[in-house]
Every structure is written in C-alpha cells, then in structure tokens.
Amino acid sequence: MDRNKAIESVNEIKELMERSSKFVSLSGMTAVLAGVYALAGAYVAGQLLRSEDNREGLIMVASLVLIVSIVTACILSWYKAKKMQQKLFSKLTYRIAWNFSLPLLTGGLFCIALLLHEHYGLVSSVMLLFYGLSLVNVSKFTYSNVAWLGYAFLCLGTADCFFEGHGLMFWTIGFGGFHILYGMLFYLQYERRK
C-alpha cells in the first residue's frame, strides 16, 4: 500500500514539474482543425489556379488559413489551460511564441521576397521548410514529439524543392495531411487516456 502511494506521489511531482517547465496546453484537435483548414485552403487555391493566375487570391487564401489556424490554436489552448487549471500566458508561453515565430516570420518574409521577384516555384518549399524549423525549434518547450512533426515538414519541404510544378500537392500533404495525422496520434497518445 505504501509503495502505491509513493509511486502516486512521484507521478504527481513529475506532472507538476512537467506543467511548470513544458507548455502542455496543446490539443490534438488544434492540429486536426489546422489540417482541415489547410485542405479547404488548398481546394480553394486549386480552383483559383485553374481559373486564372491569381497571385493576390492565393496570398489571401494562405493568409486566411494561417490566421484561422492561429485563432483556433489560441482558443483551444486557452480552453485546455482553463480545464487543467493553468495560466495560459506565462513566461513559458512568451518563450514558445518567440521561438516559434522567429523562423516562421523569417520564412514568411522570404516567401514575400520570392513572390515580389516572381520566383513562385520555391514558395511552397520555403513555407514547409521554415514551418518545420519552427516546430523543431519550439519542441524543447512542449511535447518532444512536436520535433518529429517538424522533421517530417523538413523532409517534405526538401523533396518539394526538386519537383517543380507540384507545390500545391506538397503543401496540401504537409499542412493538411501531416497536421491531421499528427493531431490524431497526439490525441491517442496524450488526451484519450485522461
């Protein structure tokens, strides 16, 4: 009986330490919804590409997918933090935001430069690569398996560099498929048992 109590106490201490040093308000549903938004955005982008060369429309669609995904992530993280009786905004949250945003913003600016100079072929590769770098960079502050999602994006972005004219397909696989798959696996590993 005493052994069970000791194990339970150790598990509680471990959970408290993890909560204070890692951002655990992530949700598998966030990744799934981001993937669904990306699939919807890819469909609209495909329609725009079929009808005409509409660079502004594609930028609007990509921006909308990004904004809706960020808003969804914030809302679901806030809800999960509240459910776990944690503060969403802390020094750790700001550290995560900085480490995630820096590579992402750098990649975004690089994409804008590519678009301005009409080098469209590598835009999807740059998006995938810098997003992968953002995930790997932020994984040290949250669940470690986020790094594996980042590695998958890095591999996909690298492959995309070598297949001109298939950027939308690679973008859809990464931002749509990888997010949905990761969200489901995340749910099974971390959320289902709670």
pLDDT single digits (tens) 122-169: 999 999 999 999 999 999 888 889 999 999 999 999 999 999 889 999
For 162, the 3-state DSSP assignment is: coil
pLDDT for the residue 118: 87
Residue 3 above 90 pLDDT? Answer: no
pLDDT, tens digit, 9 for 90 and up, residues 38-75: 999 999 999 988 887 777 888 899 899 999 999 998 89
Question: Which of 132, 68, 72 lies closest to 100, judged by CA?
Answer: 132
> Which pLDDT value is given to residue 193?
66
What token pair was written down for 98?
């900085």
What pLDDT was estimated at residue 81?
Answer: 79
DSSP string over 40-100: HHHHHHHHHHHH---HHHHHHHHHHHHHHHHHHHHHHHHHHHHHTT--SSSHHHHHHHHHH
Tokens in use for 73? 């992530």
DSSP label at 1? -
Tokens of 2: 């005493």
The mean pLDDT value of the chain amounts to: 86
Q: What is the dihedral of CA 13, 14, 16, 22, to 10 degrees?
A: 160
Handedness of CA 32, 127, 73, 155 (dihedral sign): positive
Of residues 124 and 79, which shows the higher confidence score? Answer: 124
Per-residue pLDDT at 41: 95
- Distance between alpha carbon 151 and the CA centroid of its chain, in Å? 12
| CA 42/CA 123 separation, integer angstroms | 14
Q: pLDDT: is 13 or 57 the higher one?
A: 57
pLDDT score, position 69? 94
Start-end of H helices in 117-145: 123-138
CB 153 within 8 A of CB 125: no
pLDDT at 190: 81
Mean pLDDT of the 76-89 span: 80
Encoded amino acid at 58, one letter:
L
pLDDT over 60 at 179, yes or no: yes
Lookup: tokens for 97: 């935001």
